[in-house]
Amino acid sequence: MSSVSPPQAALRVEVLPVRSKRELNEFTHLPFRLYKGNKNWVAPLFHFEKQRFDPRHNPFYDHADVQLFIARREGRTVGRISAQVDAEHIRYWHERVGMFGFFECQDDPDIARALLTAAEDFLRERGMEKARGPLSFSTNGEVGLLLDAYHLPQMPIMPYTMPYYPKLVEAAGFAKVKDVYAWRWERGPVPEGPPRKMVEELRARSDVKVRRASMDDFAAEYEIILKLYNDAWSENWGFVPATKAEADDVAKSLKLVIDPEIVPIVEVNGVPAAMALALPDYNWAQAPLHGKLFPLGWLRLLWRLKVRRPRQGRLALLGVGKEFRQRQYAGLAYLICDEIYHAARERNYEWAEFSWTLEDNGLINAIIKKVGAEHYKTYRVYEKSL
Of 139, 154, 181, the last residue of a domain is 181
- Tell me which residue of 9, 273, 314 sits closest to 153, measured CA to CA: 314
What distance in Å separates the CA atoms of residue 49 and residue 130, rounded to the nearest whole number? 28
Residue 190: per-residue pLDDT: 85
Contact 130, 386 (CB under 8 A): yes
| Any domain includes 307 | yes
Span 83-100, pLDDT tens digits: 999 999 999 999 999 999
Domain end point (choices 334, 349, 364) = 349
Residue 317 lies in a domain: yes
Query: Is 129 in the same domain as 153?
Result: yes
Q: Is the pLDDT of residue 1 over 70?
A: no
Residue 202 one-letter amino acid: L
* pLDDT recorded at residue 7: 53
pLDDT at 2: 41
In the prediction, which pLDDT does 10 show? 60
Q: Which of 158, 181, 204 is the last residue of a domain?
A: 181
What mean pLDDT do residues 343-356 have? 94
pTM of the model: 0.94
**Both 30 and 177 in a single domain?**
yes
Work out the number of other CB atoms within 10 angstroms of the CB of residue 91: 11
3-state SS record for the chain: CCCCCCCHHHCCCEEEECCCHHHHHHHHHHHHHHCCCCCCCCCCCHHHHHHHCCCCCCHHHHHEEEEEEEEEECCEEEEEEEEEEEHHHHHHHCCCEEEEEEEEECCCHHHHHHHHHHHHHHHHHCCCCEEEECEECCCCCEECEECCCCCCCCCCCCCCCCCCHHHHHHHCCCEEEEEEEEEEEECCCCCCCHHHHHHHHHHHCCCEEEEECCCCCHHHHHHHHHHHHHHHCCCCCCCCCCCHHHHHHHHHHHCCCCCHHHCEEEEECCEEEEEEEEEECHHHHHHHHCCCCCCCHHHHHHHHHHHHCCCEEEEEEEEECHHHCCHHHCCHHHHHHHHHHHHHHHCCCCEEEEEEEECCCHHHHHHHHHCCCEEEEEEEEEEEEC
Residue 380 lies in a domain: no
Task: For residue 311, tell me if it sits in a domain.
Answer: yes
Is residue 50 scored above 60 in pLDDT?
yes
269-294: average pLDDT: 95
Q: Is residue 46 part of a domain?
A: yes
The verdict on 167 and 278 lying in the same domain is no
Residue 368 included in any domain: no
CATH of the domain at 143: 3.40.630.30
pLDDT score of 191: 84
Asked whether residue 273 carries a pLDDT value surpassing 50, the answer given is yes
146 and 49 in a common domain: yes
Whether residues 213 and 112 fall in one domain: no
User: 261-277 burial string, b = 16+ CB within 10 Å, else e?
Assistant: bbbbbbbbeeebbbbbb
How many domains does the chain divide into? 2
The answer to the question of residue 283 being in a domain is: yes
Residue range(s) defining the domain that contains residue 79: 8-181
Band the pLDDT of 117: cuts 50, 70, 90: very high
- pLDDT tens by residue, 153-205: 999 999 999 999 999 999 999 999 999 999 999 877 788 898 899 999 999 99
Residues 97 and 130 in one domain: yes
Query: What count of Cα atoms within 13 Å lies in the side-chain half-sphere of residue 43?
Result: 23
Judgement on whether residues 158 and 233 belong to the same structural domain of the protein: no
Are 210 and 260 found together in one domain? yes
Angle at Cα 140 formed by Cα 260 and Cα 113, nearest 5°?
140
Same domain, 226 and 85: no
Asked if residue 370 belongs to a domain, the reply is: no
Is the domain of 200 the same as that of 256?
yes
Task: Please determine, for residue 8, whether its predicted confidence score (pLDDT) is greater than 70.
Answer: no
40 and 166 in a common domain:
yes
The angle formed by the CA atoms of residues 222, 226 and 231, to the nearest 5 degrees, is 155
Question: Both 26 and 98 in a single domain?
Answer: yes
Work out the mean pLDDT of the chain and round it to a whole number: 93
